[in-house]
Structure 1
């Protein structure tokens, strides 16, 4: 019979107090845990050999007992508009995708929170995949670190913004998403401002309320895409259990607790949600809570037959909202030619 080989635990999944306990029992000084944590979360070390202010014996102790399950870039594609899409390989061989979106004013990382997705939104390529598992906090953090390296190496500019808009529904991986943001924003971590982070949800009302209870400092975006229940049910099954009235109440609760303005994301589909009546419904929904609207160009996928709206319809739609005092941004697609644009992430290997 083959002997059972114990797999080493990822050191980044161990609470600092437990790690300190282990180190003290091994004869190390209590302050060692702070040094190790700094290497892991501030300096983003991917091996114990990098921890050069620890003795060789201490590094060997860590090596013998733990591992660092760091992400690897498996494939990388560069779009004609300089967007970079990366396929990241996880320690268990699963794959996720992340995107670097450079513009004149900002350098944005779009990161994933799950391997696949369980929500099956009709217009999203990831929604046609099965959800394999949640990403842990360190796997989300690693995407930010690696995409930031790409930004600095390719454009000599560090990341300015992070959006949780990649594969998966962030609020169905609540604890890991919030823990990853803690590592990204903490002075003991990457020290980014939470105001430069946006978490996007398809609309999980009870978790939106929990964000309010936790008084989070980052921004919240709701993937709305239709402001009446009949249409939203047709493209987003989640609306059947989290309808617009339930979401309205959750968003009002979130705003009451955090005072943070909501962003409504609205993909404008041709002949589906692009009429002035649709614009009126959206305008009425925006009145429930301080908000702004991102109108998003649709990016076609093989699995669905939606089309992007026509330019004049988009202009009329945006103008209708603006004339009624709504703050509107029209988001143009980035990275469409390498399937890196919004809704296109689906692990297509070259």
Structure 2
């Protein structure tokens, strides 16, 4: 069975012509599968029964369902989403003073095995298809409207998986999300975060993407980065710096660095000096200093506030645009690095949406 949402409007028009149907049927099908779809072709009440039966014989619409939601005391909502083949991914709605941000996943699990990340303890089962990513964002947008009375303002691909290892589906999903018949969101409000796949960073440049790019840096020499991020062994810092500069040359888009502070590992003034050196080699506009969020079975700890402030002040004194990004949703394991598809059915504070 083929996925009906893989068909463009032009392809649907061609399909209708072959079936002897009028051209306008294609638009009816297209609007239905993206705006009204329950996932059941037989629910297309605006189509003749005979056409529904023909479509049902060849096509399916694999919809993403919200299996469970949890609510944090700070307003964050984590959602466990069920895919058509009964795999699960997690996504998070993060409210801010002026923003409603969707943190979305791009893979079931992850193959990179970063030492500080809960998702990294999982195997990668498969990539999300583009329409599954669109469903994920649409569900979060619906929840944003329901709970906050307004739609999403931003999207970050910082959930489960490495987006650049699901390149074509992520870009196709962003194209749909930013299109007039999607959410119509500006690409400048979308950030794709990567652990550092240099080849694909260059491809982003070649494709002249308009969305923002963030690099999960977390260590600024190859020895330390190899220790916590195995991908650095094949995509070292020199290679990444070159790829990021190429991306900027092709797109004009400045880069954000993400830097999680780990106690007694990357939080010294020497580490800050190494971060400053990398920052000055790349057209970066921001360093997000991220609080480490504890994950069961992982050895890292968060430094104390005094250590964090000293690190931040040192960066600022050397004209690095840096700020601390405070984690949201820690009480429901929804914060950065904590998404791991835990069994939510026994969590008493969870509610269905």
Query: Fold-level match, TM-score > 0.5?
Result: yes
Match for residue 254 of structure 1?
A: 247
Shift of 1:340: 0.6
Change (3 A) 1:56 1:214: same
Shift of 1:150: 0.8
Mapping of residues 139-288 of structure 1, within 5 Å: 139-288=132-281
Check conservation: 2:287, 2:321, Cα contact below 8 A.
yes
Shift of 1:239: 0.3
- Which ranges in structure 1 are unaligned for 5 or more consecutive residues? 1-7
Indicate which of 330, 333, 336 corresponds to 1:339: 333
Check conservation: 2:256, 2:288, Cα contact below 8 A.
yes
- Which ranges in structure 2 are unaligned for 5 or more consecutive residues? 345-353
Q: Deviations over 1:113-159 (max 9, x none)?
A: 00000000000000010000000000111010001111111111210
In 2, the alpha carbon distance for the partners of 1:141 and 1:199 equals 15
Shift of 1:35: 3.2
Match for residue 299 of structure 1?
A: 293
Aligned positions, number: 343
SS at match of 1:73: strand
Do residues 23 (structure 1) and 16 (structure 2) align? yes
Check conservation: 2:202, 2:247, Cα contact below 8 A.
yes
Shift of 1:64: 3.8
In 1, the alpha carbon distance for the partners of 2:339 and 2:211 equals 24
Which deviates further from its counterpart, 68-77 or 8-17?
8-17
Indicate which of 319, 325, 332 corresponds to 1:325: 319
Which deviates further from its counterpart, 157-166 or 17-26?
17-26
Shift of 1:58: 3.7
Mapping of residues 34-183 of structure 1, within 5 Å: 34-41=27-34, 46-48=39-41, 51=44, 53-183=46-176
Shift of 1:66: 1.8
In 2, the alpha carbon distance for the partners of 1:41 and 1:196 equals 22
Change (3 A) 1:16 1:320: same
In 2, the alpha carbon distance for the partners of 1:205 and 1:43 equals 39
Q: Deviations over 1:32-51 (max 9, x none)?
A: 32332233335566444665
What TM-score does the superposition give when structure 2 sets the normalisation length? 0.93
Check conservation: 1:125, 1:303, Cα contact below 8 A.
no
In 2, the alpha carbon distance for the partners of 1:191 and 1:36 equals 20
Q: Deviations over 1:182-240 (max 9, x none)?
A: 11001132211100000000000000000000000000000000111111010000000
In 1, the alpha carbon distance for the partners of 2:182 and 2:29 equals 12
SS at match of 1:162: strand
Check conservation: 1:126, 1:167, Cα contact below 8 A.
yes
SS at match of 1:220: strand
What TM-score does the superposition give when structure 1 sets the normalisation length? 0.94
In 2, the alpha carbon distance for the partners of 1:40 and 1:256 equals 38
Shift of 1:15: 4.2
